[in-house]
Structure 1
Amino acid sequence: MTQLTFFPLGCGDTTLIQFRDETRMLVDYADMRCATDNSDKRCDLPKLLKDDLKAANLDSYRVVAFTHLDNDHCCGAPDYFWLEHAAKYQGEGRPKIETMWVPACAITEDGLEDDARIIRQEARHRLKAGKGIKVFSRPERLKAWLAANDLTIESRVDCFVDAGQVVPGFTLTEHHVEFFAHSPHAKRTDDRGVEDRNGDSMVFQARFEEGDAFTDVLFAADVDHKVLAEIVDITRFHKRDERLHWNVYHLPHHCSYLSIGPDKGEDKTKPVDQVKWLCEQAGEREGYVISPSKPIPTKGSDADKDVQPPHRQAAEYYKADVLADRRHFLCTMEEPSHTNPQPIVLLITRDGAVKDTSGSGGARAAASVVAPRAGS
């Protein structure tokens, strides 16, 4: 059975996907916990992930997708993974990455520091080698970089995934899952002479098949409402509305109001038209919204005054206007409680997405399900 695990990492992102064949995929990796602070409620990510691999008798991930290289999406990755570009990142106990997914800016961006720089070097190494990597972008975006490294677009064409394509390597027939790339898209990947790490981050739909029914999960990285509006406009122009359908919506940018609209609002953020359609029409009202964030602030609290997400006004929009059941808004640092956050597990069943309430990775599931769509 396929299952998704969302980890309590504060405002940090890591999602573990366990496929039906027991192989694993990670969407981002951010070890945000302070190991010397006993009061830190964020999870010990490397321990949990290594325990999971050991239990599954695995030593590698089928895919590790870095949606972009902000610290809260790649922190600690060089300490955890076996990286091919340098021996210092190799050794016993380091899980290998069979295929790395990155956006183009993870190749081209200069001036990166610390963990982001190291992951960039790994991505560049793999692209130079022509294997073990998928770069989400129009190939033309990297033409200059390829030329500077004595490479051509034609020689690396199999390494690229453009927006509007199904990602090679997975099929519903064989693997019971497929991934559809939404971003970076052409409007953002033309040579603009500027790197916008959040705006150019990877957005994709994961479609899981179980019992001839589809369950869709939309991963939205850190994009804002302007980029989401572009994605909606482009996708609907091409009459591919179903590629924006979601049963589970992994919120962009840790429940920021800017991923809904330009104005925070007093008590609830008002969405721009395209985001309103995405959230209220393309998604399922019985679905789940995942907020990978700190606890949602209460009105008037110190956290409420913080300009950084999460924003209570954004959370209220999802709870009040998007979901039929407010309890299906799941904040990673609040489940099952803000004093004892634990990983959130959703099971993909023939009845749709089911929240596991057993604490044992799927041994017992809640009765609440998200109805899937019929397959074909």
Structure 2
Amino acid sequence: MTAALTFFPVCNGDMTLLEFDNDQKLLIDIHVRKAADDPEDDTPDVMSQLRDRLKRDEKGRLYVDGFLLSHPDKDHIGGLVRHFHLGPPDDWVKADDKILIREMWSSPIVFRRSSKTHVLCDDAKAWAKEARRRVALYRANKVIGIEGDRIQIMGEDIDGKTNDILGIVVKTDSLVTSLNRVSAGAFEARLLAPVPKGDDEALDEMLAKNRSSVILRFSIRGAGYADKCRFLSGGDAEVAIWERLWDKHGTYNANWLEYDILQAPHHCSWHSLSYDSYSTYGEEAEVCDSARSALAQTRKGAIVIASSEHIDPEDADPPSDRAKREYISIVNGKTDRFICVTDIWDDEQQPLRYEIGASGIVKAVKNAARAATAALGIGATAAQARPHGS
């Protein structure tokens, strides 16, 4: 089976489906706007697009093998309650026909994001409740539950709060190699963040909101051949996180950040690359070299995907035209290797999709006559992007 990455057109939000060559599927985030569920509205019906790619189990339930929530902002979890079954799997209702989440992937930090200045939306609260239900089952029984009760916690919690459930915890810097209890070699994913608390209290305070985004660098098998695509996914992680990752890994483990496909953090936000406000400093705003280095570990022919609305220099960030130009410089000035998902939808009326086979990564196209030009020639050889300013 051919592996694939599909980026759904959700404007400023994330919704990405990873299909592995063992036929398992992992969904990363959702952003289902209410207009997308209205058949009279021309907003892309991303849930129909997703459902068309899923299979049903022996009980007739549509399912994803896994669902990773990068962090609990509305543009990453909106539509959860409307479209996904929450609660014990045996309570699934045929008439509702909601999608079963066989295994949740969730950071423990996201559940402490609620505050007077950051109120969790109802979908995020529902995710947290379901995650707690699944953790409570494991804590009580000390065994992995059935499909629909499973969870992997991405990173250890503070103050030893996850010490008694380490059987379902993935430690930062380690590898995730199983999905829904299946270890088939179809992928491995390096967990780079959330970043644990350190000894620098001032830095920890600055990272508090930032730290919650899960960052995973996937190595995906294609048609039985290992490491045919490296995909870096980082939610809304901003500059301090990427700077810290480079300071931590740049000397000895820079290859942990190497990618063929990068999903530009925070919908191509300038604040993933710089501490300076672009609205204040304009073109004088400076890039953080360490953060840029973390996001510039490209392999041959690498591409950057912006899951965002159209990028207009006159519009507010995100997305940022200045960030777009920086990412284009990272991919050696090749404008065709920076792709906006909304632009693809407008041009092709389909989600942005890359298929991963034995010969590499190919962009899926509607017109077969164009297929010969769709091969990207990426993923063969590591080749770091040119240094900033060169």
TM-score by length of 1: 0.83
Partner of 1:241: 254
Partner of 2:356: 348
Is 2:290 the counterpart of 1:274? yes
Partner of 1:135: 153
SS at match of 2:54: helix
Measure, in 1, the Cα distance between the counterparts of 2:83 and 2:134.
18
Is 2:231 the counterpart of 1:227? no
Is 2:204 the counterpart of 1:186? no
Measure, in 2, the Cα distance between the counterparts of 1:96 and 1:76.
14
SS at match of 1:52: coil
SS at match of 2:354: strand
Structural mapping, 1:36-115, within 5 Å: 42-54=43-55, 59-84=62-87, 90-92=93-95, 93-110=97-114, 112-115=120-123
Deviations 1:244-290 (A, max 9, x none): 1011001110010000112336459642111232233x113611101
Structural mapping, 1:186-205, within 5 Å: 186-187=196-197, 196-205=208-217
Distance 1:88 1:175, change over 3 A: same
Measure, in 2, the Cα distance between the counterparts of 1:125 and 1:365.
48
Deviations 1:106-149 (A, max 9, x none): 33444533111111101111111124111112244562xxxxxx
Measure, in 1, the Cα distance between the counterparts of 2:350 and 2:175.
33
For 2:343, give the aligned amino acid: E
Measure, in 1, the Cα distance between the counterparts of 2:20 and 2:177.
16
Identity of aligned residues (%): 23
Measure, in 1, the Cα distance between the counterparts of 2:307 and 2:249.
25
The 8 Å contact of residues 103 and 184 in structure 1, kept in 2 or not, is answered as yes
The 8 Å contact of residues 8 and 42 in structure 1, kept in 2 or not, is answered as no
Deviations 1:26-45 (A, max 9, x none): 01111125148789654212
Partner of 1:147: none
SS at match of 2:12: coil
Q: 221-230 or 362-371, which moves further after superposition?
A: 362-371
Distance 1:142 1:71, change over 3 A: farther
Partner of 1:148: none
Q: 320-329 or 243-252, which moves further after superposition?
A: 320-329
Q: Which runs of 4+ in 1 moved over 6 A?
A: 36-39, 55-58, 86-89, 188-195, 362-365
The 8 Å contact of residues 14 and 76 in structure 2, kept in 1 or not, is answered as yes
Partner of 1:146: none
The 8 Å contact of residues 220 and 226 in structure 2, kept in 1 or not, is answered as no
Deviations 1:206-243 (A, max 9, x none): 10123354421000110111111111222235x22211
1:200 shift after superposition: 1.5
Measure, in 2, the Cα distance between the counterparts of 1:274 and 1:100.
32
The 8 Å contact of residues 354 and 365 in structure 1, kept in 2 or not, is answered as no
Measure, in 1, the Cα distance between the counterparts of 2:199 and 2:103.
22
Is 2:8 the counterpart of 1:7? yes
1:201 shift after superposition: 1.0
The 8 Å contact of residues 189 and 200 in structure 1, kept in 2 or not, is answered as no
Match of 2:311 among 292, 296, 299: 296
Partner of 2:388: none
Structure 1: gaps spanning 5 or more residues: 144-151
Structure 2: gaps spanning 5 or more residues: 139-143, 145-149, 383-390
The 8 Å contact of residues 351 and 371 in structure 1, kept in 2 or not, is answered as no
How many residue pairs match? The answer is 355
